Amino acid sequence: MLTSFRELLDERRAAGAAAGAFTCYDVTTALGVVQAAEARTAPVMFLVAEASLRRPSGRLLLPALLAVADAARVPVCVQLDHVTDDALIDEALAGGIGAVMADGSKLPAVDNVSFVASVRRRSGVAGVEAELGHIEGGEDVAAATEAGALTDPRAAGAFVAATGCDCLAVSIGNVHGRYAAPPQLDWERLAAIRDQVKIPLSLHGASGLPDTDVRHAIALGVCKVNVNTELRERYLVELEAGLPAARDGLKLLDLEAGVVDAVAAVVAAKLDVLE
Ligand SMILES: [Zn+2]
């Protein structure tokens, strides 16, 4: 069932858990996410990449994901991930998206504040997530990446107050895509941010983080964990493995079922860590 961003995060925080947020480039991935979430009775989020919405078929993907989310037997929120384009944000809001990740992290600090505050004003009941500091790496490619500018705990409280954002993405040594070196998350920094900020925190770039790190982050205030790279890896491995048998007899349903199961296995393993 479609559930609001704030409601979903508040429930997770009260449970001492985090919501898994999974990038869905297609409906097949969303089916795998729901399969795992229903088996675990866990709420989840579908993340929609900006690149997906910019494709010619993008206007059709959002309503499809919203329909899957609504039909699911667990709470689901659909969020537009990392976006800076106001027109695209407004289009997604008009299309009924449940949340927006208003990513002004590459802008000068003052512009990040005004951008997020403006999105918050326009978003109504939809949730707004912002980013302070900068999480390096592309969301849609998986190059090895070093950590970017870390979130300044002293700036975090004022940033949240000035923007009115509902969730803050922290940069504490986490990156998008593949880690160039074993990740070293800055726990003191995360604890200091948590002390300055009342709203739920999110951790991006969870693919490649040890489970113990993810659990520690949740204990320090993280209520949302974004996963993308691992899903795509398993999706493609399964697609390749299932293709010869499927081609023989044009068994498209079997091929898709294999991919759905593979995605669900990755999601289920993540959800077990987030509980
Ligand atoms: Zn991200």
| CATH class of segment(s) 5-274 | alpha beta
The pLDDT of residue 40 is: 97
Residue 182: band (very low, low, confident or very high) from pLDDT cuts 50, 70, 90: confident
The pLDDT of residue 82 is: 96
The pLDDT of residue 71 is: 98
CA dihedral over 3, 7, 8, 11, signed as positive or negative: negative
Residue 140: band (very low, low, confident or very high) from pLDDT cuts 50, 70, 90: low
Residue 110: band (very low, low, confident or very high) from pLDDT cuts 50, 70, 90: very high
- The residue from 10, 26, 81, 272 that is catalytic is 81
Question: How far apart are the CA of 247 and the centre of ligand 1, in A?
Answer: 35
Residue 178: band (very low, low, confident or very high) from pLDDT cuts 50, 70, 90: confident
Could you tell me the end-to-end alpha-carbon distance of the chain, in angstroms, rounded to an integer?
20
Check pLDDT > 80 for residue 74. Answer: yes
Token pair listed for 102: 């208003």
How confident is the model over 202-228, as pLDDT tens digits?
999 888 899 999 999 999 999 999 999
Check pLDDT > 80 for residue 255. Answer: yes
Beta bridge partners of residue 99, listed in sequence order: 79, 127
Question: How far apart are the CA of 107 and the centre of ligand 1, in A?
Answer: 16
Question: How far apart are the CA of 158 and the centre of ligand 1, in A?
Answer: 22
pTM for the full model?
A: 0.95
Tell how many helices (H) and how many strands (E) occur in the chain. 11, 10
Kindly state the average pLDDT of the residues 151-158.
95
The pLDDT of residue 139 is: 66
Kindly state the average pLDDT of the residues 163-173.
97
Q: How far apart are CA 268 and CA 152, in angstroms?
A: 33
- Asked whether the beta carbons of 45 and 80 are under 8 A apart, the reply is no
Nearest Cα to 201, choosing from 154, 228, 168, 234?
A: 168
Domain definitions of the chain by residue range = 5-274
Catalytic-residue membership of 81: yes
- Assign residue 96 a region: left if phi > 0, alpha if psi is -120 to 50, beta otherwise? left
Mean per-residue pLDDT of the chain = 95
Kindly state the average pLDDT of the residues 260-268.
98
The pLDDT of residue 38 is: 98
Instruction: Please state, for a pLDDT cut of 70, what percent of the chain lies above it.
Output: 97
The pLDDT of residue 221 is: 94
The pLDDT of residue 181 is: 84
Kindly state the average pLDDT of the residues 68-78.
98
Question: How far apart are the CA of 139 and the centre of ligand 1, in A?
Answer: 6
